[in-house]
Amino acid sequence: MMDRSNDCAPVAAGGKTLTRDEAVAFLTARVSPIDGTETLGLEAALGRVLAEPVMSTLDVPGWDNSAMDGYAIRHADLAAHEGRLPVAQRIPAGAVGEPLAPGTAARIFTGAPMPEGADTVVVQEVCEASDGQVRIPLDVKAGANVRRTGEDIRTGAEVIAAGTRLTPAHLGLAASVGVARLVVRRRLRVAMLSSGDELALPGEPLGPSQIYNSNRFMLMGLLQTWGCEVVDLGIVADDLESTVAAMARGAREADLIIASGGVSVGEEDHIKPAVERLGRLELHQVKIRPGKPLAFGEVQGTPLLGCPGNPVSLFVTAALFARPLIRRMQGVAGELDVRPLRIRAGFDWLRPDKRLEFQRARLERGADGELEVAVYPSRSSAVLSSVAWADGLVQLQPGRVVERGDPVEFLPFGELLH
Ligand code: AMP
Ligand code: MG
């Protein structure tokens, strides 16, 4: 799955530290989209990545039709008959009318086909109907309230491009051109492991100095949100042999391996030596806070991303780096990275870090009712409550002092989590 064709990508091994943007560019250049497709009914295709474009064999709408409940007329008849026309037929949606006889009106409803010869629909609110006749103001506009053939989609047009992650609107659009089944890429298989002797699973009693494995559930949730199939390699003990064995299994069973914890260079950190044993390490530092140690490499041909174990750091690095990496491997076309929104700060940031910093943030209403970005009171990367509190991250530039009211870059979870 590794794309080695791009040998001009910066080599980050050997202690070189990349910026956030360099790291995203580096990671996404190292992998390529997986092969393999499946054909699914629209009911099952939400969130999947389209492998073949959806083309239309129809015009939508298929014929000129009424945009309103009202009266279909030939506009030129109005002046000739002083706005008074007999109502000669009634055309509800789903019916087909007769050609409009000269000097008559047709009672018509939203979505019903225009009768042949009619060119204008007059909304019922401005008309007066009585005794089989309708009185219509003379100033109505010719051609009003008609939806034209092919105004939404033309026969032969590409309706949804390959590489699109399918949203509810895309499913509706495919249905509107009569397409019932879509060719999508198979799900990306991602193996995850949690490294740490201190970890226990919820539901089990905690031993002395143990903590519960929160990352397993958070990472699994992120991967599911991003449409991946998860291969759980479980909790891996802090020793080289167990780490190597888990990675080798991940390489056999998955397209990508994501590890949490054990990624620094301490005696108890075995991700890097294990990657070096099985393949090669290509990146291990990014200039951000939290999440500075970050490993990327290849184990037996399968890419591996090693994220720090602190839960907040895991969340931030997964959102910033695993997400675009996964999107690239899933074959998502276009923008892989999140697009920040500029929104005013509802806080002062007077002690900036030397690194690009990501704080847990959410949108709140300021005193004037306008949206502003609030940050969680604790900067600690061990406080997971901050992520649950937040609805986004605020990206704070290295060394930049922010005062309340200054614009800041907000990365909404609405975007990071899809
Ligand atoms: P590490 O990256 O392995 O040095 O771990 C950094 C911190 O994150 C330590 O306090 C670990 O106990 C904690 N940690 C590591 N893995 C997990 C996990 N899966 N769930 C919760 N905390 C973790
Ligand atoms: Mg550890």
Q: Indicate the average pLDDT of the chain.
A: 95
* Burial class for 208, CB neighbours closer than 10 Å (0-12, 13-18, 19+): exposed
Task: Inform me whether the pLDDT recorded for 388 exceeds 80.
Answer: yes
Neighbours of ion ligand 2 (CB under 5 A): 196, 261-262
Mutational test site, ligand 1, from 215, 216, 242, max ligand atoms within 8 Å of CB: 215
- pTM of the predicted structure, to 2 decimals: 0.91
Q: What is the mean pLDDT of residues 286-307?
A: 95
Pocket of ligand 1 contains residue 214 by CB under 6 Å = yes
**How many other CB atoms sit within 10 Å of the CB of residue 418?**
12
Cα distance between residue 339 and residue 218, in whole Å: 23
Q: What is the mean pLDDT of residues 192-211?
A: 97
Give the number of the atom of ligand 1 that is nearest the alpha carbon of residue 216. 19
Pocket of ligand 1 contains residue 386 by CB under 6 Å = no
Binned at pLDDT 50, 70 and 90, residue 12 comes out as low
Binned at pLDDT 50, 70 and 90, residue 284 comes out as confident
Pocket of ligand 1 contains residue 291 by CB under 6 Å = no
Pocket of ligand 1 contains residue 210 by CB under 6 Å = no
Residue-level pLDDT at 17: 87
Task: Inform me whether the pLDDT recorded for 243 exceeds 80.
Answer: yes
Token digits of residue 322: 């695993």
Mutational test site, ligand 1, from 194, 195, 206, 211, max ligand atoms within 8 Å of CB: 211
pLDDT per position as a tens digit, 392-412: 999 999 999 999 999 999 999
Closest residue by CA, ligand 1 atom 10: 310
Phi, psi (deg, nearest 5) at residue 203: 100, -20
pLDDT per position as a tens digit, 308-352: 999 999 999 999 999 999 999 999 999 999 999 999 999 999 999
Domains of the chain, start order: 17-36+187-330 (3.40.980.10), 37-58+154-185 (3.90.105.10), 65-147 (2.170.190.11), 341-417 (2.40.340.10)
pLDDT per position as a tens digit, 78-102: 999 999 999 999 999 999 999 999 9
Pocket of ligand 1 contains residue 215 by CB under 6 Å = yes
Binned at pLDDT 50, 70 and 90, residue 4 comes out as very low
- Long-range contacts made by residues 15-23, C-beta under 8 angstroms, separation at least 24? 15/284, 15/285, 16/285, 17/285, 17/286, 17/287, 18/283, 18/285, 18/286, 18/287, 19/286, 19/287, 19/356, 20/286, 20/287, 20/288, 20/320, 20/356, 23/283, 23/286, 23/294, 23/321
Residue-level pLDDT at 15: 59
Pocket of ligand 1 contains residue 194 by CB under 6 Å = yes
Give the number of the atom of ligand 1 that is nearest the alpha carbon of residue 214. 20
Q: What is the mean pLDDT of residues 218-242?
A: 98
pLDDT per position as a tens digit, 125-144: 999 999 999 999 999 999 99
Q: What is the mean pLDDT of residues 202-231?
A: 97
Residue-level pLDDT at 7: 38
